[in-house]
Amino acid sequence: MTAAPASPTRQILRDSARLLFLALIPAILAGWLHPKHPVWSWSKPGVTEVNLSEITRWSAPLSWIDARSSAAFQKEHVPGAILLNEDQWEQQLPHFLEVWQPNAKIIVYCDSAACDASQAVALRLQRELNLSSIYVLQEGWASWLQSNP
Amino acid sequence: MPLTAPTFFRSLAAFILTALFLPTFCFGTLTWTTQRIELTTKPSEKVATGNFHFVNSGSETVTITSVQASCGCTTATLEKHRYAPGEAGEIKTVFTLGDRVGEQEKSISVVTDESPTARTTLLLHVTIPELLLYAPRLLIWNIGDALGEKTTVISANSNRQIATITLTLPLPKEVTALLEPVEAGMKYKLIVRPVSTTQVMNVSLECVVTFADATSQHCKIYLLVR
C-alpha cells in the first residue's frame, strides 16, 4: 500500500516552512556569533509619541518643552516653548514650573527621530514630578521645521 | 540521486557556514574589542569616558568616514581616520553628565569607506546613581482648596545612610513645613501646608542632606498653588 501524495498547496507550505527554518538557523548564528553582529539594546518603555497633525486637533492648551541644547534653543524654537533639558535640569526646572498650567498638555521635542532627549525629559517629568498628559513630538524639531518652513 | 541524511546535513552545514561568514568579506574589516561599554559614575564626577578599541583585521586600508554621537552631550573623537591592515586605533567618547540621573545609553555610529551604507553602532551605557529619591518632588494645591497638608517622602538611594537632613531657613512665608523621620538614616517625610490657597503660589523648599560618608547633597521640593 502506498501513501497518498500530498496536495500541491500542502507541499508548497511545507517547503516554505523548511526554507524559513533553514534561513533562521544562520540568521540566529550570525546575530550571536558574527564578529560584526549588531549590539542588542532593549528599548525602555517610553512616553506616547504624537505627530503635529494630531496635536493641531487638540483643544486643550499646549505647553511646549524644548529638550535640545541651549544653543539650539537660542537659535530657534517652537513659539512659546520653554527650554528644559537634562544638561541643566536643576537650573531650568523652576522656570518651567512657573509657567506650567495643570490643564495644559505637555509636548516635549528634541532634534529629530534620532535623538532621545525628548523621551528622557518626558519620562523624568512623569517620574520626578508625577505630571501627566505628557507627549513626545514625533520626529521632533525636524518635523516642526517641515510643517513651518 | 536520492537525498541521504549525511548529504543533507553536509549541505546544511555548508549553507550555514557560507551564510554566517560571507558578510565578513562583504562588509568592513574593523574588528572591535567591544561595542558596548558599561560605566557607573561617582557622585563627584562630571563626565564619563569610554574608549572603544578596534583593529583593522582586513587586507586593505580602512578610512573611517564618519563618527557621530546620538546626543550633543557626548563627543566621540578619533586620532586619525585612515588605518592600515593590522593597525589598531580607538574612538574616545566623553559623555558630559549634566544633571542626568539613572541609566543612560548613548550610541555612536561609525561609518567606513568599505561599507558606506552600513553603520557600526557603539553603545556607552552609563549608570549615574541618584543619591536622593523624592516621592514626589512637586506638591500641588488647587486654587480655593482647603488648607490641607501634603507630604513628600525623601529617601536615600544606593545604600547610603543619611546622617542629617535639615531644611534651609528661612522657609518661604507662604508655607509651613515639618520634617519627620520615617526610617532613621534612610527615609524622611516632609509635611507642608500652604498659608493660603486663594491665589497662585510658586515657591520651593530646600534642604541639605549629609550622608554618613560626610558627602552632602542639596534637595529641593517645589510647591505650587494653581
Predicted confidence at residue A3, as pLDDT, reads: 60
Tens of pLDDT, residues B123-151: 999 999 999 999 999 999 999 999 999 99
Q: What is the ipTM of this complex?
A: 0.79
C-alpha A87/C-alpha B43 separation (Å) is: 16
- Going by C-alpha positions, the residue among B196, B203, B194 that lies closest to residue B221 is B203
C-alpha B179/C-alpha A70 separation (Å) is: 36
Is residue B201 assigned to a domain? Answer: yes
Q: Which of B96, B128, B160 is the last residue of a domain?
A: B128
Are B138 and A87 in contact (CB < 8 Å)?
no
**Chain B contact for A146 (CB, 8 A cutoff):** no
On whether both B41 and B123 belong to a single domain, the answer is yes
Tens of pLDDT, residues B159-206: 789 999 999 999 999 999 999 999 999 999 999 999 999 999 999 999
Domain boundaries, chain A: 1-38, 49-147
Confidence of residue A146 (pLDDT cuts 50, 70, 90): very high
Q: Which of B128, B163, B195 is the last residue of a domain?
A: B128
On whether both B138 and B121 belong to a single domain, the answer is no
Which residues from A are below 8 Å from B20, CB to CB?
26, 29-30, 33-34
Are B100 and A86 in contact (CB < 8 Å)?
yes
- How far is A30 from chain B, CA to nearest CA, in Å? 5
Is residue B194 assigned to a domain? Answer: yes
On whether both B121 and B136 belong to a single domain, the answer is no
Is residue B33 assigned to a domain? Answer: yes
Predicted confidence at residue B26, as pLDDT, reads: 46
CATH of the domain at B181: 2.60.40.10
Is residue B188 assigned to a domain? Answer: yes
Is residue B69 assigned to a domain? Answer: yes
Domain that includes residue B185, residue range: 132-225
Beta bridge partners of B202: B224
Mode of pairing for the β-strands spanning B74-78 and B88-96 = antiparallel
Are B71 and A116 in contact (CB < 8 Å)?
yes
Can you count the helices (H) and strands (E) in chain B? 1, 17
Is residue B205 assigned to a domain? Answer: yes
On whether both B51 and B119 belong to a single domain, the answer is yes
Question: Cell numbers at residue B33, please?
Answer: 574589542
Which residues 6+ apart lie within 8 Å of B202 measured at CB?
A: A97, A98, B223, B224, B225
Helix (H, G, I), strand (E, B) or coil at B196: coil
Residue type, B30: L
Are A86 and B99 in contact (CB < 8 Å)?
yes
On whether both B137 and B173 belong to a single domain, the answer is yes
On whether both B141 and B219 belong to a single domain, the answer is yes
What phi and psi values does residue B69 have, to the nearest 5 degrees?
-90, 150
Tell me which residues of chain A, numbers 103 to 142, contact chain B at a CB-CB cutoff of 8 Å.
114-117, 120, 128-131
On whether both B123 and B137 belong to a single domain, the answer is no
- How far is B122 from chain A, CA to nearest CA, in Å? 7
Residue among B12, B98, B138 minimizing CB distance to A130 = B138
Counting every residue written for chain B, the total comes to: 226
Is residue B23 assigned to a domain? Answer: no
Is residue B5 assigned to a domain? Answer: no
Confidence of residue A137 (pLDDT cuts 50, 70, 90): very high
On whether both B96 and B142 belong to a single domain, the answer is no
On whether both B139 and B218 belong to a single domain, the answer is yes
Residue-by-residue DSSP string for B21-44: HHHHHHS--EEES-SEEEEE--TT
- Overall number of domains in chain B: 2
C-alpha B133/C-alpha A127 separation (Å) is: 10
Interface size A-B, in CB pairs within 8 Å, comes to 90
What average pLDDT does range B82-98 have in this prediction? 96
Where do we find the cell 549634566? B98
Res. B219: pLDDT tops 50:
yes
Confidence of residue B27 (pLDDT cuts 50, 70, 90): very low
pTM of the full structure: 0.77
Predicted confidence at residue B118, as pLDDT, reads: 83
Which residues 6+ apart lie within 8 Å of B104 measured at CB?
A: B95, B125, B126, B127, B128
Which residues from B are below 8 Å from A100, CB to CB?
224, 226
Which residues from A are below 8 Å from B142, CB to CB?
102
On whether both B96 and B111 belong to a single domain, the answer is yes
The CATH code of domain A49-147 reads: 3.40.250.10
